[in-house]
Structure 1
Amino acid sequence: MTDEFILYEQDEGIATLTMNRPATLNALTGVAETRSVVEACERINADASVRCAILTGAGQAFCSGGHVKDLRAKKGLGEGSAHAIQNRYRESVQRMALALYRLQVPVIAAVNGPAYGAGCDIATMCDIRIASTRAAFAESFVKLGLVAGDGGSWLLPRAIGMSRAAEMTFTAEPIDAATAREWGLVSRVVEPERLMDESRALAHRIAAHPGTALRMAKRLLREGQRTGLETLLEMTAAYQAIAHHTPEHDAAMQRLFERTS
């Protein structure tokens, strides 16, 4: 078994990324783990055959966030001067956040267990979230006298709205999978033994479509969160012009007319 934090598997245009530190509940102990995530994202972006990705955790947890023993010992992310810590966050968890958010293909978070702190935020970096009944979500930073160093204060309100994001942030209390669904944090909740089957089935429905169109559609959704309508319309017109000239569009139109003739 590889020592990499991320196990990378690919099948039929679907890349499955598994955070693989079950003994520590897939905690982020430092730069090595976050670099593994970044490298997996770069690999996907460079591979046009990938049309969808699934992110999950090995063992009982999705991701427990920062490694609390290291944090207590002032090791890993919390080692050194304030300036050193600031730079380490920029070069580790924040690079990871940007890499996951900028993934060009649709990403499904298959949340198999607790997603606490950075683990909760990693889930919000994905496009779609499916939760096991064993999942729980906590924006737990203030409980440790910390703040979300990975962009959670930007990501979480966009996923569930400001009031509920504030409640999760200020109480640091976990919500269960049913509440996460009620609040819109996840799309569906399934039994643990069905989680990966459901996630793969959805990934196959997505990956059945042309990769170029999927990547452009995702980019438009991302840009729509932060830009004005006029700017997005200009971007859409440019993307649509490109799409009209792709062989995937021609093939799709051919199939459509063959079915209806």
Structure 2
Amino acid sequence: MAGRRLVDGASAARGVGSNEIIDAYLADLGARLHGPAHARRAVLEEIRTDLVDSVEQFTRQGMPEADAARVAVSDLGSAAVVADAFAGELAIVHARRMLRILLITGPVVGVWWFILLAPDQWASYPGMLIAAIPALPIVAAAVATAIVVFATTGSLIRWVPEATPFRTVILAALVGLACIVGDLTVLSALLIRAVTGSAATLPLGIAVVAVLASAIRLPLAAWATVSTVRIAGRLRRARPAGGRIGDRISDRPGRG
């Protein structure tokens, strides 16, 4: 059961128990994991359960609990090796979370710019719409990329090729960058209209809301992009997992 703790009176009397050994290992591992907090907690609980089960198995064979804990930790691998083994999985969780945030904020920001800048005849002349809102092709590309990421990292991997963690985070970073470019593009378009005097016909209230929406989303998109790029860098430095932890990772099911 996750979160179980072992009680070792003899080891405690010596000042070092199996719980202390496992806790120290998990603290080291937790400091090396990067990703959403709930995903890191899930990994730590999984590793704790694995170690506790191994200790119980060794103690049934007559090994003292403290020694059993040391052997269990050694068999699993160093905290650095285990962190590298889970780096890809945590990177995908992070990328999908960032994309959800950006996709949720997209319509909230975009609707105000559409109301503000879309010409009255845009339905009859789509080219006028793109000319008025040049960020639209960027938005379309970002949405398509996000859909590809979700499809190739979720339950659809039964039918489509599964994306590698590195490719996933790179695509997520590109979506974040597209959001930044899109916001800067519409802000620039509004600034140009203000400088040329053509913004006088635009509703001031909607313009203020649109600018504020982009101003709020810009740092969010920048944070999402930078954090994802950093995780991509860690993935490049991560060492391939081997041994028992490598077998555990390779046997994990697809991500939902």
What range describes the TM-score normalised by the shorter chain of this pair?
A: under 0.3
Greater RCO structure (CA 8 Å; 6+ sep): 2
What TM-score, normalized by structure 2, do the two folds share? 0.22
Higher fraction of helix: 2
Higher fraction of strand: 1
Greater Rg by CA: 2
